[in-house]
Amino acid sequence: MLKKTGKHPLYKSVDRRSFLKGTAFGLASLAIPFGTSDASVWDAFFQKHFREMDDDEIKSVIKRMEKEYADEYKTDFKIKTTGPLPGVKFGYGLDLSLCIGCRRCVYACVKENNQSRDPQIHWITVLQFKNGERWVNVFEEADRYYNPQEVPEEGHFYMPVQCQQCENPPCVKVCPTQATWKERDGIVVIDYNWCIGCRYCMAACPYGARHFNWGKPHIDKSEINPDVHYFGNRPRYKGVVEKCTFCIQRTRENPGRYPACVEICPVGARKFGNLLDPESEIRYCIENKRVFRLKEDLNTSPKFYYFFSI
């Protein structure tokens, strides 16, 4: 399962962890009044790195989290930990000749992935360019706050940017705690319970794909999506980093579903599929259209392809 997806330099986890637990419990009992020391707070504090946990530990963590989320949002949550499907590597295509800059993808993503509404977090940024201006790799002339009555605006074109799911992700390389890594299906995930919020990954990401919970995320109870994945759209915490996961909670199902942004796009500009399947739509696009990837000079090798159908 997921546990075996990557190398991990750690061993003997149980012994040292329980040692730490004992010491810290001793110290903590001095500091925290007994009445308020809820056991689940401490379970959360001592929760291990996801890839160090065995199946039973994962189960108990999920149970604890489902209860925490249910208490907070008054809805029953189902937290999946579905691993990568064998023989799958996800790729994404975006047809720039069709995109009209309507931002439906942005808001479908917010809704599906339980992004904080206040403060507002968007995983997709749509850049607007004037015809004839510099673009592709120089974004200084881009406007990401365009707000006209109607889109598309005459003389403008649009380029949505989100996590490019790099094959060679700089964010993963720099994370000091291994809280983020690339899974076998190519999705770069974050363990929101292991991230310390140092934001080194945000400095390293060339695409502005990573977002920080500067304040406590707030979502109306009525707008919550309770069908969540551990690495994906479960509600986040204050002080951790989050990002697009190609809707891991949908795409890892079997049969899989399209990411919310692909599903909502009114002009069909967004394509998604398995790069390892020669018959897939994404492979067709790569092989038959003029594709390019953002900031190729950085050798991050994104699995996010922009192309032109017209």
Which residues are near another protein by CB under 8 A?
A: 8-10, 16-17, 20, 45, 49, 52, 119, 125, 127, 137-142, 144, 161, 170, 173-179, 194-200, 202-208, 210-216, 237-241, 298-299
Our CB check for another protein shows the closer of 92 and 207 to be 207
Our CB check for another protein shows the closer of 214 and 308 to be 214
Our CB check for another protein shows the closer of 15 and 71 to be 15
Query: To the nearest whole angstrom, how small is the minimum distance from the Cβ of residue 256 to another protein?
Result: 29
Our CB check for another protein shows the closer of 205 and 269 to be 205
Query: To the nearest whole angstrom, how small is the minimum distance from the Cβ of residue 146 to another protein?
Result: 13
Query: To the nearest whole angstrom, how small is the minimum distance from the Cβ of residue 273 to another protein?
Result: 26
Our CB check for another protein shows the closer of 45 and 75 to be 45
Query: To the nearest whole angstrom, how small is the minimum distance from the Cβ of residue 254 to another protein?
Result: 30
Query: To the nearest whole angstrom, how small is the minimum distance from the Cβ of residue 26 to another protein?
Result: 15
Please provide the DSSP assignment of the chain as one string.
-GGGSS------HHHHHHHHHHHHHHHHHHHS-GGG--HHHHHHHTPPPGGG--HHHHHHHHHHHHHHHHHHHSS--EEE---PPTT--EEEEEETTT-----HHHHHHHHHTT--BTTB--S-EEEEEETTS--TT--TT-BSS---SSSSPTTEEEEEE-----SS-HHHHH-TT--EEE-TTS-EEE-TTT-----HHHHH-TT---EE--S-----GGG---EEETTTTS---TT-EE---S-HHHHTSSS----HHHHH-TT--EEEEETT-TTSHHHHHHHHSEEE-TTGGG----SEEEEE--
